[in-house]
Amino acid sequence: MPIIAFYIDDDPALLEIAKAFLEHEGEIQVETATSPLEALVRLETQTFDAVICDYQMPNVDGIQFLKTIRNQGRDTPFILFTGKGREDVAIDALNNGADFYLQKGGDPRAQFTELKNMLQRSVAQRRAMESLRESEEMYEKLFHDNAEAMILVDIKSGLLEDGNTAACALFKYSKEELLRKRVQDLLLGLDGSHSQTLSSLIGTGGAKPGVTIKKANGEVIEVEVFSGTLRVRGKTMGYALISDTSKHERSEVESVKEERKLKGMIDASPTAILVLERDGSITSWNPAAQKLFGWDPTERTPTLASLDFDRRDMGELNAKMMAREPLHEVEIKRNLPDGSKMIISLSAEPMPGSDGGLGLVAVASNVTERKRMEQRMSHLNEALGLINGILRHDTMNEMSILSGSLDMYERTKQERYLTNAMKAVNRSIELVRRMKELEQMALAGGDLRRTDLHATVEKACRGHMIDHTVDGHATVLADDALSSAIDNVVRNAAIHGKATEIKAAIARTQGEIVLRLSDNGSGIPDSIKPKLFDEGFSYGQTAGSGIGLFLVKKTMERYGGGVSVEDSLPSGATIVMRFPDPDR
């Protein structure tokens, strides 16, 4: 069977030559990708015997890619093939699950021969391990994990070769004691004697009802034996599958006990559990479900429609439920009486319904807070990563200017170089101060609460020596980041737009609260308006870091609104901030 290898490298020329070398003798087929992101998409739909990956690639390096596929549960053999010769890279690769590490360079023929050998060795080892694991798993499932007692017998001597846990429990022997017995000592004739021959017990095969067994404690019970021969570990042995027919009399009582135990576990579960019939009625539920959905047990039987799920989500959910297929953590929004939404995670499995058809048993949990925190962390990581990158980049530039200016002053003693050095120091101080402000803006997010928009705008404008008016009043759902966002807009108008006046207008329209901040500054060219709120975008002689307005956009998106820019007549620019109306 040929080896199907997957080679990821951002150098197409190297991919081509490696593919040619490895496929030359027809033992290996090579698929290629030029980026880890492309490779991850391919791995979702294709299976490969081994992965070869470069280390240094844009965006994601080879070890990050290795960690990703290992975290996804993929144990495909992995070879890191890289031009980086550092020992720490090799150790990191092997510690994270790489099978081999090979450094690029040297004689191409010897290099690709070694790569081919690594491929063949790693795939051969993995196939052997999988074959052994499959055979062991099959043996475990058919023998050791069998709920019925099963024994393996040496056909010549009648001595037991093996017995599963159920056999030890049935005969009341330990594993060591059981393996010292002969089958004739355990399985008795109808008269309770030891007169049964080995061939009559094992060799003839098939089912044998009415056989009696004697347990270690002297108890004799009637069983049914199904026997025959099979080949295990290269040896033909007899086997006997022994079913205790007396236990069926106890099964109904035990079943009732198990049902009571299961009901107790379900009622005590903190997770909502409910049973849905085909017609959408909910016929059974536990206390956690009653609490989650606010049901009154004295009222009529609840239905799926009465849960008041979001209409669009409900349509998708109905389609999946009609197919009676398993659902796994499907997220669906539920409308609450106060106008807010709860996010429910729903999983379900088909089960026989009370009408004979297929219903669903479902588990549900409120993940609203978790989703909010995930979104918050995503925004925060994005903003702090951007701040860190800008601070590192710009500070390095200023340090280069400072160092160069001081060096030139040492050589020439010209005062202008000291002036340049001082300017670089001042710019660095201002940069750190500004980044601290933006960091505080990014970290300010918290639980949304009703906030007086008029007062927030008034406070932000008073913080900048600029004439201003604020018309209109409204309350919006926001957090402490709103004040920083408005302050950022006013600062940009004053510093970059050279504005001397801000006119703020608050209005309620079409289910939104709209804040318009209009200045009399130099305005914003039409060509850059579409990029104004993009990450890292800046322009003009007073260009900043390009992060402030980006954070304004992210803050407004977190509130469920948005931000845009328009012209202000007769001059200047208008920043438009839209909020959802909390009273709608």
Residue positions counted in the chain: 584
In this structure, of 110-124, 211-225, 393-407, 488-502, the range with the lowest mean pLDDT score is 393-407
Do 125 and 156 reside in the same domain of the chain?
A: no
Domain boundary among 136, 171, 194: 136
What pLDDT is stored for residue 516 in this prediction?
95
The amino acid occupying position 284 is: S
CB 478 within 8 A of CB 505: no
Give the integer Cα–Cα distance in Å for 55 and 239.
54
What's the pLDDT band for 53 if we cut at 50, 70, 90?
A: very high
- Nearest in space to 209 (alpha carbons), one of 232, 227, 234: 227
Q: Is the pLDDT of residue 191 over 50?
A: no
Which phi-psi region, left, alpha or beta, contains residue 79 (left: φ > 0; alpha: ψ -120 to 50)?
Answer: beta
CATH number at residue 452: 3.30.565.10
- CATH number of the domain enclosing 344: 3.30.450.20
**75/96 same-domain check:** yes
Cβ atoms 555, 440 nearer than 8 A:
no
> Is residue 121 domain-shared with residue 232, that is, in the same domain?
no
pLDDT greater than 60 at residue 440? yes
Q: Residue 555's closest CA among 436, 448, 445?
A: 445
Does the residue 254 lie in any domain? no
- pTM (two decimals): 0.39
486/557 same-domain check? yes
Residue 434 pLDDT level (bands cut at 50, 70, 90): low
Banded model confidence at residue 328, pLDDT cuts 50, 70, 90: confident
More confident residue, 272 or 360: 272
List the domain range (segments joined by +) for residue 229.
146-249
Average pLDDT over residues 532-544: 69
Distance CA 349, CA 339 (A): 31
Residue 322 is predicted with a pLDDT of 66
Q: Do 302 and 329 belong to one domain?
A: yes
In a domain, 141, yes or no: no
Q: How far apart are CA 163 and CA 133, in angstroms?
A: 21
Average pLDDT, the chain: 81
**Do 32 and 59 have their domain in common?**
yes
Q: Are 419 and 447 in contact (CB under 8 A)?
A: no
Count: domains in the chain: 5
Q: Which of 220, 249, 278 is the last residue of a domain?
A: 249
Same domain as 208, residue 175: yes
- In Å, what is the CA distance from 548 to each residue of 146, 514, 553? 65, 20, 9
> Is the confidence at residue 97, as pLDDT, over 70?
yes
Nearest alpha-carbon partner for 51 in 154, 153, 126, 150: 126
pLDDT confidence bin for 337, thresholds 50/70/90: confident
Would you say residue 256 lies in a domain?
no
Cα 496 from Cα 541, distance rounded (Å):
8
CATH number at residue 57: 3.40.50.2300
8 Å CB contact between 266 and 287: no
With respect to residue 114, please indicate whether it lies within any of the assigned structural domains: yes
What percent of the chain has a predicted confidence (pLDDT) above 90? 18
How large is the average pLDDT for residues 538-552? 69
Pair (482, 581) in one structural domain:
yes
Note whether residue 572 is domain-resident: yes
Boundary residue ending a domain (443, 466, 487)? 443
What's the rounded Cα separation, in Å, for the pair 254 and 247? 10
Give the mean model confidence (pLDDT) for residues 188-192.
51
Residues 224 and 104 in one domain: no
The pLDDT of residue 62 is above 50: yes
320 and 284, same structural domain? yes
Q: Dihedral angle at the C-alpha atoms of 541, 547, 548, 553, nearest 10 degrees?
A: 130
Q: What is the Cα 146 distance to its own chain's centre?
A: 35
Q: How far is residue 38's CA from residue 319's CA, in Å, rounded to a whole number?
A: 32
DSSP secondary structure, 353-365, as one string: -TTSSEEEEEEEE
Q: Which residues contact 172 (CB under 8 A, 6 or more apart)?
A: 215, 216, 217, 219
Q: Is residue 372 included in any domain, yes or no?
A: yes
Using alpha carbons only, what angle is made at residue 495 by residues 493 and 501, rounded to the nearest 5 degrees?
A: 45
In a domain, 580, yes or no: yes
- Tokens (6 digits) for 109: 């023929």
Is residue 258 in a domain? no
Residues 463 and 570 in one domain: yes
Asked whether residue 459 falls in the same domain as residue 584, the answer is yes
CA-based nearest residue to 486, from 456, 531, 519, 523? 456
- Indicate the angle between helix axes 548-558 and 415-443, nearest 10 degrees: 0
Residues of the chain with pLDDT > 70: what percent? 82
